[in-house]
């Protein structure tokens, strides 16, 4: 296992659409292990492979609270099959948009299909934090960031801030 660097906006790789995995290989297993180590160290509750510069449709997630035992989950080639019409607001943050949080409206419930590390396909209904988090991470796999769900004014403001910071860091 190894810690990987998390790429941040305005890195253009975050806008890439990730490729399907289709088959779980030893390389996929190693990537997942690295993603968990990176996610826990950040710390975060979800991580898409593209956030560590690997454009594959893989998500790691752990929604357990600090005082609870870890509950790691892996979603390979996840897809949303159905989403509820009703929406709920949730204050989201993102490891690729550090220290910025904003309320986002998303469907309250989703039905998803994904493959686990053993290559077994699952279908599951999700609501609450799981529904929000899975939608956020699947957005990453499609090159969409949570700030894209904000008003143009808010999105432009946060992008400008991160572009300036990236320029300063490059100097």
The CATH number covering residue 150 comes to 3.90.45.10
**What's the confidence (pLDDT) of residue 127?**
97
User: What is the rounded average pLDDT of the residues 11-27?
Assistant: 97
User: Does the N-terminal peptide bond of residue 58 adopt cis geometry, omega within 30 degrees of 0?
Assistant: no
Task: Kindly state the helix (H) or strand (E) to which residue 30 belongs, with its residue range.
Answer: helix 26-41
Quick one: DSSP state of residue 115? E
- Indicate the number of domains in the chain: 1
Examine residue 6 and state whether it is found in any structural domain, yes or no.
no
**Among 113, 115, 132, 131, CA closest to 123:** 113
Residue with more model confidence, 15 or 169: 15
Query: 35: domain range?
Result: 12-170
Examine residue 1 and state whether it is found in any structural domain, yes or no.
no
**What's the confidence (pLDDT) of residue 36?**
97
Residue with more model confidence, 92 or 163: 92
Residue with tokens 């806008």: 15
Bridge partners of residue 127, in order along the sequence: 109
Examine residue 3 and state whether it is found in any structural domain, yes or no.
no
Examine residue 4 and state whether it is found in any structural domain, yes or no.
no
Q: Which of 27, 79, 137, 171 is catalytic?
A: 137
Q: Each residue of 77-98: b (16+ CB within 10 Å) or e?
A: bbebeebeeeeeebebebbbbe
| 31-67 pLDDT, tens digit each | 999 999 999 999 999 999 999 999 999 999 999 988 8
Examine residue 47 and state whether it is found in any structural domain, yes or no.
yes
User: What is the rounded average pLDDT of the residues 17-26?
Assistant: 97
Is 137 one of the annotated active-site residues of the chain?
yes
Examine residue 87 and state whether it is found in any structural domain, yes or no.
yes
Beta strands in 31-128 (DSSP E): 46-48, 58-61, 73-83, 87-94, 97-107, 109-115, 121-127
pLDDT confidence tier of residue 170, bands split at 50, 70 and 90 = confident
Examine residue 119 and state whether it is found in any structural domain, yes or no.
yes
Q: In whole angstroms, what is the distance from residue 170 CA to residue 76 CA?
A: 34
**Among 50, 71, 70, 46, CA closest to 60:** 46
């Amino acid at each position: 296992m190894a810690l990987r660097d998390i790429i941040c906006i305005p890195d253009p790789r975050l806008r890439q659409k990730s490729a399907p995995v289709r088959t779980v290989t030893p390389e996929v297993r190693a990537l997942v292990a690295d993603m968990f180590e990176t996610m826990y160290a950040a710390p975060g509750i979800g991580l898409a492979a593209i956030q560590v510069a690997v454009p594959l449709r893989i998500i790691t997630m752990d929604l357990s609270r600090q005082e609870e035992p870890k509950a790691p989950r892996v979603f390979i080639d996840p897809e949303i099959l159905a989403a509820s019409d009703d929406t709920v607001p949730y204050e989201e943050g993102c490891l690729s948009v550090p220290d910025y949080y904003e309320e986002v409206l998303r469907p309250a419930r989703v039905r998803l299909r994904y493959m686990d590390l053993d290559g077994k396909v699952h279908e599951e209904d999700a609501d609450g934090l799981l529904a929000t988090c899975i939608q956020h991470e699947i957005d990453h796999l499609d090159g969409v960031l949570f700030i894209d769900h904000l008003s143009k004014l808010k999105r432009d403001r946060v992008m400008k801030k991160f572009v300036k910071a990236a320029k300063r860091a490059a100097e």
